[in-house]
Structure 1
Amino acid sequence: MLKVRLIRAVAISGLLVLGLCGRSQNKIVVYQTDFGLKDGAVSEMKGVAMGVSPDLKLFDLTHEIPAYDIWAAAYRLQQTVPYWPAGTVFVSVVDPGVGTARKSVVLRTKTGVFVVTPDNGTLTLIAETLGISEIREIDESVNRRPESRNSYTFHGRDVYSYTAARLAARVISFEQVGPLLPRQEVVSIPYQKAELKGSVIAGTIPVLDVQYGNVWTNIPGELFGQLHVSFGESVDVRIFHQGKEVYKGDMPYTSTFGSVPVGKPLAYLNSLLQLSFALNQGDFAAGNKIGSGGEWRVEVRKK
């Protein structure tokens, strides 16, 4: 009987260990910044990480976030994080308030991914879509690159990359990042969430398809489907910036760009299955002076 109990105890312990390992770090670090690649800033961050452990695997999300554009950083995290495995550590540095009182944090999502970043709005969308498991404030008395105490303007290298590397390499546990924040919430940027009211769907423009000038909304295909618009039928589209209407027009809902003549507008579902607007072989955003961010609002109705 004692032997059976011991076997059961070992089995349960093994399952617990497996469960913990499933939520642990996987030695992958993914970087996002607004630094660009014209100088050595990104390389410095990666050098710090490799100094912590040469076994780390380092990847880039993007370093082309527009300067100081916290909203764009928030969106690119929302777009990308769900495709990476649990245990991945993201570093996002779009930090116009570097050196100020904004908190430096590590958020663990409910899916087991870690995000190291200033808490300045960058976590707005990822917190909503993947949920918050825990947030810890980085204890810089421990988790800061040695010999960097007199550096005040490059926390991306001295604090965020260093802490992320130590976490990813399992030099520290998540608990050793720093104190647990008592209120498990983040600084959020206000924006229009996608919603249906009567016969109108409202949403925002989280980002532009920068290569082609297509306008992406946060209106998911499932919600748009409630308007019962079939391919070839038209929708009435209105776009507002800070409450002022900047575009009004109708366009067909299609499955491909080539369904309309060159230069003509269309509505379609993008690669994330969200409602978007484009000109066939043209730049819809530039032609209509449309941008992206929380201050932009879209209204769509069936024509």
Structure 2
Amino acid sequence: MIAVITDHGSDDLFMGVLKGNFSYLLPKEEIIEVTRPISFGDSYVASCIAERLACHLPKSTIFMIVVDGQNESARRPVGLRTKDDRIFIGFDNGTFTLPIERFGLKQIREIDVPEVKFSLSFTRSVLDILIPVAVDLSKGRNFESIGSIYMTFYDLKHKRAGIVDGKIKGEVAFINERGDISTNIPFDYLEKMGLSQEDKLKINGKLSSISLDRRAGRKNELIVCEGLGGYVEITSRYSRAGEILNLPSRSEIVLEV
């Protein structure tokens, strides 16, 4: 199985060409594509999505992160092998940051690129470099053979969740199309605070309830539930949680009793 995480979701031509290449090279392989809610060039959200997706897919999955980052090394093709042997390939633009934090780092390798195929074009790099490597790895190619050890990879700077002075502090990771807020706060932090199902708490000063059923709640009531990857997700049955709290991505979230 190959999972493609990309910021090119609205580009039907790009996605068509990408899927067409995979269909030709691996006609029997299952290809999963995740494009939302990744905005163009948003390496942080792509990293969040890759990490959470990897929690729920087989370890044998090849994760290909196709995001056009903004840092100087953002077009350098690299591969990541985690401590539990999950494999990610992409560019050195920070999208490996959260998978490394979740699963640990075994090694990162710079993908060998034949001189004839080297290109500064993002599209050509994806089609001529990343896809062939993903295909070979899916067919059983040894990870160590893709290139030499890469030591100076780009690491995204971001806030980490924590419990400070009796409050849980984190940030908005991303907001989906329904207006649900995915945070970077592990759901088990609520248990550490002595909270459980149906307890009340405040989110940035607004009252909310903890529930395993995201369909619970009255109009405009905020519900705190466990989202993918085991993180706190904030939703509302009849409204958009993102609008109720008026919080953009990367803004601070404070949970308190």
- Give TM-score, length-normalised by structure 2: 0.86
**Distance in 2 (alpha carbons) for counterparts of 1:104 and 1:150:** 11
Matched pairs, number: 254
Partner of 2:177: 211
Q: 1:159 to 1:226 in 2, by over 3 A?
A: same
**Distance in 1 (alpha carbons) for counterparts of 2:153 and 2:108:** 9
Q: Is the 8 A contact 1:46 1:161 kept in 2?
A: no
Partner of 2:207: 250
- 2:131 corresponds to 1:167: no
**Distance in 2 (alpha carbons) for counterparts of 1:285 and 1:110:** 35
Partner of 1:225: 191
Residue 97 (structure 1) shift: 4.0
Partner of 2:161: 194
Which one has a bigger Cα radius of gyration? 1
**Distance in 2 (alpha carbons) for counterparts of 1:197 and 1:217:** 17
- 2:201 corresponds to 1:235: yes
> Secondary structure of 1:212's match?
coil
Residue 299 (structure 1) shift: 1.5
2:122 maps to amino acid:
T
- 2:27 corresponds to 1:70: no
> Secondary structure of 2:133's match?
helix
Within-5 A mapping of 1:84-233:
84-97=57-70, 101-102=73-74, 103-141=76-114, 148-149=117-118, 152-154=121-123, 155-170=125-140, 172-181=141-150, 183=151, 186-208=153-175, 210-233=176-199
Residue 200 (structure 1) shift: 1.0
**Distance in 2 (alpha carbons) for counterparts of 1:97 and 1:111:** 29
- 2:255 corresponds to 1:300: yes
Residue 115 (structure 1) shift: 0.8
Percent identity between matched residues is 19
Q: Show CA shifts across 1:126-180 (max 9, x none).
A: 00101111111011127xxx7x55662312212111221122224x432221111
Q: Is the 8 A contact 2:52 2:228 kept in 1?
A: no
2:174 maps to amino acid:
V
> Secondary structure of 2:122's match?
coil
**Distance in 1 (alpha carbons) for counterparts of 2:20 and 2:212:** 45
Q: Is the 8 A contact 2:78 2:90 kept in 1?
A: yes
The gaps in structure 2 that reach 5 residues or longer are none
Q: Is the 8 A contact 2:162 2:169 kept in 1?
A: yes
Q: Is the 8 A contact 1:56 1:169 kept in 2?
A: no
Residue 43 (structure 1) shift: 3.0
- 2:9 corresponds to 1:31: no
Q: Is the 8 A contact 2:174 2:249 kept in 1?
A: yes
Q: Is the 8 A contact 1:139 1:179 kept in 2?
A: yes
**Distance in 2 (alpha carbons) for counterparts of 1:299 and 1:57:** 43
- 2:226 corresponds to 1:274: no
The gaps in structure 1 that reach 5 residues or longer are 1-27, 239-247
Residue 228 (structure 1) shift: 1.7
Q: Is the 8 A contact 1:139 1:177 kept in 2?
A: yes
Q: Show CA shifts across 1:185-238 (max 9, x none).
A: 742222222211231111122222x13212222222321112223444421222
**Distance in 1 (alpha carbons) for counterparts of 2:213 and 2:73:** 48
> Secondary structure of 2:131's match?
helix
| Alignment partner of 1:57 out of 13, 25, 29 | 29
**Distance in 1 (alpha carbons) for counterparts of 2:193 and 2:56:** 30
| Alignment partner of 2:243 out of 251, 264, 286 | 286
**Distance in 1 (alpha carbons) for counterparts of 2:64 and 2:50:** 10
2:35 maps to amino acid:
H
Q: 1:37 to 1:261 in 2, by over 3 A?
A: closer
> Secondary structure of 1:40's match?
helix
2:132 maps to amino acid:
Y
